[in-house]
A and B are shown apart, each in its own frame.
Chain A
Amino acid sequence: NAGVTQTPKFQVLKTGQSMTLQCAQDMNHNSMYWYRQDPGMGLRLIYYSASEGTTDKGEVPNGYNVSRLNKREFSLRLESAAPSQTSVYFCASRENSNQPQHFGDGTRLSIL
């Protein structure tokens, strides 16, 4: 059982480049989330999708876009990468509200 799968695991970009982080879950979960984690800042929610077909902003959405492609997949796009977006990105999913979230292994992104 793979759970939540994130690709790529590592990426180095130059300022201004674009890229898409992929996330897929095989647990038939309704809700999916994108977080970034920086030293001393904890987990900060970027975007989330409560159910297939819906997306909403979290606390730090600027510079990002998301797509809930289907129930399994939720992608995060950086249109024009900035050094401030250097971080570890986690995707998570859960069945419904009040249930635990399950995390992928993360993507370590460096922007030069």
Chain B
Amino acid sequence: QKEVEQNSGPLSVPEGAIASLNCTYSDRGSQSFFWYRQYSGKSPELIMFIYSNGDKEDGRFTAQLNKASQYVSLLIRDSQPSDSATYLCAVEENPGNNRKLIWGLGTSLAVNP
């Protein structure tokens, strides 16, 4: 059974701090990794995706991938109350031509003013 695991939280950080969200996956052959944000009562929206080992930065967000250790993380710098949401990690099932994602259950983030 291929799995994606996330700490359910809630993760609570003060405004302006760095929030660190982690995700581990079981499928060693996975090649593509995605972070989504989901506000309560809304649909998931894409924040970032990463394919290669290392860091990928986009504004206040940094995705980090370590395929050898099978984890991917999301850092949110200068956290804002508007970042309070559930963050979903998704991993492309291997082989990729199955065209499916494996989803974690999400980490709830609360940014306190």
Contacts and interface: CB of A to CB of B under 8 A. Distances in A.
Interface of A: 31, 33, 40-43, 45, 48, 50, 58, 90, 96-106
Contact of A42 (B42, B96, B99, B103): B103
A104 B42 CA distance: 9
Contacts of B105: 40-42
A105 B43 contact: yes
A43 B34 CA distance: 14
B102 to A, nearest CB: 9
A58 B43 contact: no
Contacts of A98: 31-32, 51, 92, 96
B85 interface: no
Main secondary structure of the interface of A (DSSP, over half): loop
Given A42-B106, A43-B88, A101 B101 contact: yes
Given A50-B99, A98-B96, A42 B104 contact: yes
Given A42-B105, A42-B106, A100-B49, A106 B43 contact: yes
B97 interface: yes
Contacts of A103: 43-45
10 contacts: A40-B105, A42-B105, A45-B100, A48-B99, A58-B100, A98-B96, A100-B34, A100-B46, A101-B46, A103-B44
Contacts, number: 49
Interface residues of B, number: 23
A16 B21 CA distance: 42
A31 B105 CA distance: 23
Interface string B17-49: 000000000000001101000000011111001
A97 B104 contact: no
A104 B49 contact: no
A90 to B, nearest CB: 6
Contacts of A105: 42-43
A98 B29 CA distance: 13
A49 B51 CA distance: 23
Contacts of B96: 97-98
